[in-house]
Chain A
Amino acid sequence: MKPLRISHSTITSALGAGRAAHADALRDERSGLASQAFDDCALPTFTGAATGVDAVRLPPELAPWDCRNNRLALLGLRQDGFIEAARSACARYGAARVGVFMGTSTSGLHQTELAYRARDADGRLPEWYDYVRTHSPFSIAQFVQRALGAAGPALTVSTACSSSAKVFASAHRAMRAGLCDAAIVGGVDSLCLMTLYGFNALQLVSSEPCRPADARRNGISIGEAAGFALLEWPEQAARGALLLGYGESSDAHHMSAPEPEGRGALAAMRATLERAGLQPADIDYINLHGTATRANDASEDRAVFALFGAGTACSSTKGGTGHALGAAGILEAGIAQIAIEQGFAPRSLNTTEKDPELRAGVLLETRQQPVRRVLSNSFGFGGSNCSLVIGGGS
């Protein structure tokens, strides 16, 4: 495919707000996971909460969209000059030529959780609760449109944990078809009780900080994140990393368990390389989906080993960020750009003893090396898989 320029981008997660905070945390091998309360959740678990979400106040024109998810979205938009870059793109291309493609799994669901606790004696929801502007999946795309002034095509992709990887595919399709000249892609997912208790009901939550690829890994740590990227054609934007390819596939296996042989994951990675016109040897680092469940890490490893063997450096960064669910794709696309710009492949955090059954080249130490191209994996419930390949801009 003809590459797309990622001319501006930003990420906010448990590792901090903005790209520099993530670069520092990755270099310092620091985890943002902590045993901390969310709401009044009583489960013994570690979470990756973004700092400062609760302190965010929405400006009056955005106040009707107020909820934890949109506060996190605004906190994320305010980093790395992203609002200015997006508004400048709207001015250059015309607002109606700038599309908005947002990924989320749970949107502002926590607002509904609060509202259900505040029902009156007849079961009616409280006056203050605005379902459409906070919890409905389109809320985040509408919020970002309003915050940035973009007025082109807009939609939310909601395919569980692959959501904000797949926004790159949707944006590329729309730009290739001439529906817009630039695209704001992103993803926002925020902590809520449903994911904590739901993953717990599936026995997929660890009581420790998650340990991807570790022999004793026992589940995920749930995180939250907001990330955004401005996509333009390279002729229109001189600087920034490049989206070289993407690939989407379905597992066709099970609603909440990956296909054990990793065939769906393999199909997504192969389609990505094919679209990018690349060979496995062209990839310098793989940012794994690496959730730290027994099943995910095993099936992803089979797929990665089948395509890349043991020689390609790979790691999951979820030991630092937690699993940001529908925002994981954009968060890890941001981490891929940092790896390329700063020339290092981050280690798999919290991994002390690599599972001997895993054969791919999981890094137990951060490696200083030129990184030209990164493959990033995101897989979700329902067997929804998406891989991206991001390359350096020069």
Chain B
Amino acid sequence: MNPLYVEAVGLVAPGLPGWQHSLATLSGAAPYVAQELAPYQPALLPPNERRRATQVVRLAFRTSEDALTGTDLPASALATVFASSDGDTDVMHRINHALAQPARLLSPTDFHNSVHNAAAGYWSIAVGSRLPSTSLAAHDASFAAALTEAAALTLGDELNTLLTVYDMRMPVPLAAKRPIAEPFGVALVLTPRRTARSVAALRLEETQQPETTLADAALERLRQLNPAARALPLLQLLARRGAGTAHLPAGGPTLSVTVTLP
């Protein structure tokens, strides 16, 4: 595959409340301190949708909105690829709990929020975009699978693309079956050609190498606590503004992402 270009990055996780606020930690200049995220009101959501938007939709918006601060490209001009290993598990819990009661009273809002593409749907409404959008899942490989799809879309169809990958904390009792202990959201604005604002070029290929782990024990722990956090080795390279290669777990062979300065 040809190289593609990163124009902006979004990041939201405990102790990493925005890309610009995380550069010192990711580049190794400051220690990682896990700090609970402050509540957030998505700026782009109209009031009607804001009332209905769940925590996971807010996380996807917060991450996407953070990335948009690094680009002049209008949100309405970006195709989108959203990905999440498990989607809206709070909603899933509420629905399954309701279905286990004799009355089986389902909230219509919960039901329409249960679709895996809820964040994509709210996003297209919020930014008024009819451009192509997809919503993916690949368990712990969700970030790599979605980055690959976004790259193939960006390069093949010559579209500027917003990639947003996120998972929320897993609620009890599902957490016993699929532990996701911290929320994490990562977004990239990708372009098929170099622009004045490009921060890095990415080249994707398969590798037989094992996935990259992080030297910092606290960040490595975070990497393992959430499927979207498997992006951290790449984020570290981008934060350091240097060249390097990150190996990320993918649905098939491991994905090698080589970062160079544009």
Contact = CB atoms under 8 A, between A and B. Distances in A.
A153 B251 contact: yes
Contacts of B118: 255, 382
B115 A112 contact: no
- Most B CB contacts (10 A, CB to CB) among A99, A112, A113, A263 go to A112
Given A137-B86, A249-B130, A125 B173 contact: yes
Given A155-B149, A250-B131, 5 more contacts: A105-B115, A132-B178, A142-B139, A153-B148, A248-B132
A138 interface: yes
Interface residues of B, number: 66
A132 B206 CA distance: 25
A170 B148 CA distance: 10
A57 interface: no
Contacts of B104: 193, 197
Nearest to B255: A153
Interface stretch (B34-42, B65-73, B92-100): B92-100
Nearest to B96: A116
Contact of B134 (A124, A145, A248, A383): A248
B113 interface: yes
Nearest to A106: B114
Interface stretch (B121-129, B218-226, B238-246): B121-129
B62 interface: no
Interface stretch (A46-54, A173-181, A369-377): A173-181
B133 A248 contact: yes
Interface string B87-121: 10000100111011000111110011111111011
B135 A159 contact: yes
Contacts of A250: 120-121, 124, 129-133
Nearest to B172: A123
Interface in A95-149: 96, 99-100, 105, 109, 112-113, 115-117, 119, 123-125, 129-132, 136-138, 141-142, 145
Contact of A381 (B92, B121, B134): B121
A194 interface: yes
Contact of A138 (B85, B100, B112): B85
Contacts, number: 215
A158 B149 contact: no
A297 B214 CA distance: 53
A383 B121 contact: yes
A117 B108 CA distance: 21
24 contacts: A96-B206, A109-B92, A113-B100, A116-B100, A117-B100, A124-B176, A137-B116, A138-B142, A151-B252, A153-B253, A154-B138, A154-B252, A177-B155, A194-B96, A198-B108, A250-B129, A250-B131, A250-B132, A252-B124, A255-B112, A255-B122, A255-B125, A256-B111, A384-B121
Contacts of A141: 138, 251
Interface string B41-66: 00000000100100000000000000
A202 B137 contact: no
B28 interface: no
A125 B176 contact: yes
Contacts of A173: 149, 152-153, 156-157
A130 B177 CA distance: 7
A170 B100 CA distance: 36
A160 interface: yes
A225 B221 CA distance: 41
Nearest to A152: B252
B138 A156 contact: yes
A125 B174 CA distance: 8
Contact of A251 (B114, B124, B251): B124
A113 B127 CA distance: 35
A193 B99 contact: yes
Give 9 nearest A-B pairs by CB, closest first: A382-B121, A154-B251, A158-B116, A198-B111, A137-B137, A250-B124, A131-B177, A173-B152, A248-B132
Contacts of B252: 96, 99, 151-154
B79 to A, nearest CB: 9
B199 interface: no
A166 B121 contact: no
Nearest to B122: A255
Interface in A185-199: 193-194, 197-199
